Chain A
Amino acid sequence: MSNGFSRREVMAIGGAVASTAALTPMARARMMPQDMDRDVFAAVVRELRAIVGDDWVFADEASTLSYRKSGIPDLRGEHVPSGAVAPANVEQVQAILAVANRYRLPLWPISTGKNMGYGMATPASSGQMILDLKRMNRILDFDAELGTILVEPGVTYQQIHDYIEDNDLPYWIDVPTVGPIVSMVGNTLERGVGYTPYGDHFFMQCGMEVVLADGTVLKTGMGSIENGNTWQAFKWGYGPYLDGIFTQSNFGVVTKLGMWMMPRPPAYKPFMVRSAEVSDIAAITDAVRPFRMNNLIPNAVMMMGALYQLSMFNRRADIWQEEGPIPEEVIKTLARQNELGMWNTFFALYGTDETIAATEPIIRGAFEAIGGEVLTDAELNGNPYFEHNKALMRGGLTLEEKGLVRWWGRSGGAIAFAPVAPAKGGETQGQTELAIEVMNKWGFDYAPAYVVGSRELHHIIFLMFDKGDDEQSAKAEQCMNEMITRFGERGWAAYRSSVSTMDLVADQYGAANREVNARLKQALDPNHIIAPGKQGIA
């Protein structure tokens, strides 16, 4: 393959990183907290080192580099941390918060910092110190009868997968796109989604422990009942349900999280429905919706655009060398060569052979009625695109979608836009038309996926660009801003956003929402030390 790095290139690039980290463009690995003198910052660092030990405070260029890396555009250095501090336990988190309050040091909590498409570990504004919770990585409890788990922020899906295998537990995990290296806590707090019937992660969350800015440790739901044993069994507790305000928020630092695990079904059958035309998306959506409402299809249905799939395993230059976005006919031809349509709808049936056999004809009939080709392992076994989703829909671990970031080549870049809408055909058709118009105007390829959760759909658009090209990075930024704005004008807003667009999206949710969030923030974190700017909350 022509795009692999040669050994010489690897050595040259790696050598440059190794020897001149402080001198390369990556040199801006650190920026001081706003309004903090260097000597004050030095005092902060000393105090933090006294809490976590010298090895776990990162406050120079070289050691902060890992926290600086992201794939989104950041031409003006607006998402550069001042350093990082990594506590090992709740007491250290409390002590760090006390220091932060005393010095007004902004802290940006991360679990593993792999928020792909949204900024990875980088903060909403420069100068924040990363509060890296990865060292808190214990699986604290796994109830084999109830299928519940209690984990710390540093626990990855890989870790839980291995744990289940090693203990022969009859459960599946539900992974987000980059499962092996991602935290279950981090993804759930961002309200990420997966691919099995347990794909709505926050819906499957049950109980959390939160350290508030003043050091108070709050256990939500049933977590504070003396001698209680229901923390991971009953979500709602008593009185106002609080868990939600600690997701996509900066009201506290979540240090433990409970989740429900999916019982491993006796039988599993994955499907792909191949549809030939981009315009088929409306009919597909309308065919999917009833099955998600009556749960005949129990998992979130993915309608994958051909280019989203092709960009996992291909580089753009191998497909198209001319100016402008890749023409539809070129994509269609390549899709056909790979046994794909322009939309490829993935779902699965779970249960026993008998229940699957009873359900399959009903679903087949609905998709065949709209011209879809309903395909299974019988036709597609071994096809890498089918195998990818086949793995995901049973909680399998893969990083293949990282390939999207290399679409434009080795310097890689991708920023995600994820508007939500009612699961109706007209919505998908309208969103697809608008996205193609805006993205093609800026010279980018439209690589979409729709996920029908229940009555809603998430539209996942990866805007892939060359981060090594400043001009293209600027266009990516402008394109993203225009998409958010124009979708907003049609009433479509994102369910989540990159750190670079949080204010823009927050504005679309209205002044009253922002004001209520601001009041909550003021009450819970009056010095605004936890992740200022997160989801537009100062």
Chain B
Amino acid sequence: MHARQRRWTALTLGLVLLAGGGLAGSLSNSASAQATYEIEPRAPEYLYARTCGYCHGHNIAPIIRGRNLPPAVISSIVRSGMGAMPAFKPTEITDTELEALSEWISQSEADPEEHGQ
């Protein structure tokens, strides 16, 4: 593939990726761009795997799936960062995404692959 063409493809695919696989379309370097997940929220599973799951169920932080934790409690902990956990801002996980993520964690079944404290 020609370099310029490859570069453009990569650019476009990158946008799709940022949108959690859901947004197609052109991208320019124009100043009007914004984080695409503000337009099309990323799926809870996608966010869990790329953020929460690195610690929770991975020896670093408590297992939170399969425990019916109330969504409102999960959301507040994500925003405030309980104990050693970092806080996650609306610019990292939007309010819309967080609402779905908290609901998903609350209702998700325990993952037998997860382990540890």
Contacts and interface: CB of A to CB of B under 8 A. Distances in A.
A120 interface: yes
A154 B51 contact: no
A279 interface: no
A259 to B, nearest CB: 15
A159 B84 contact: no
A520 interface: no
B107 to A, nearest CB: 15
Interface string B55-77: 10011111110011110111111
A10 interface: yes
Nearest to B10: A142
Contact of B7 (A144, A409, A412): A144
A74 interface: no
Contacts of B58: 399-400
A88 B60 contact: no
A167 interface: yes
Contact of B55 (A1, A154, A167, A402): A402
A155 B7 CA distance: 18
Contacts of B7: 141-144
A138 B33 contact: yes
Of B11, B34, B64, the most chain A CB neighbours within 10 A belong to: B34
Interface in A1-43: 1, 3-5, 7, 10-11, 13-15, 17-18, 21, 26
A180 B11 CA distance: 21
A414 B83 CA distance: 11
Nearest to B117: A1
Contact of B11 (A10, A56, A139, A159): A139
B35 A88 contact: yes
B10 A134 contact: no
B117 A7 contact: no
Interface residues of B, number: 57
Contacts of A68: 87
Main SS class of interface, B: loop
Contacts of A162: 17, 50
Given A1-B117, A7-B67, A134-B91, A66 B34 contact: no
Contact of B83 (A166, A399, A412): A412
Task: Specify which of A56, A69, A181, A410 lies most central, judged by the most chain B CB atoms within 10 Å of its CB.
Answer: A69
A384 interface: yes
Contacts of A141: 7, 10-11
Nearest to A158: B50
Interface string A309-333: 0001100000000000000000000
B100 interface: no
A69 B73 CA distance: 17
A369 interface: no
A400 B86 CA distance: 13
A181 B84 contact: no
Contacts of A521: none
B88 interface: yes
Interface in B8-29: 9-11, 13-15, 17-18, 27, 29
A167 B10 contact: yes
A120 B86 contact: yes
Contacts of A121: 89
18 contacts: A10-B64, A17-B77, A18-B73, A65-B79, A84-B89, A90-B31, A92-B31, A114-B86, A138-B14, A140-B11, A145-B6, A166-B13, A169-B10, A181-B51, A181-B92, A312-B59, A403-B59, A411-B84
Interface of B: 1, 3, 6-7, 9-11, 13-15, 17-18, 27, 29, 31-35, 38, 50-51, 54-55, 58-64, 67-70, 72-77, 79-92, 116-117
Given A11-B73, A14-B72, A313-B60, 15 more contacts: A4-B63, A10-B73, A14-B70, A14-B76, A17-B82, A65-B87, A66-B79, A69-B87, A135-B34, A141-B10, A143-B7, A163-B10, A402-B61, A406-B61, A410-B83
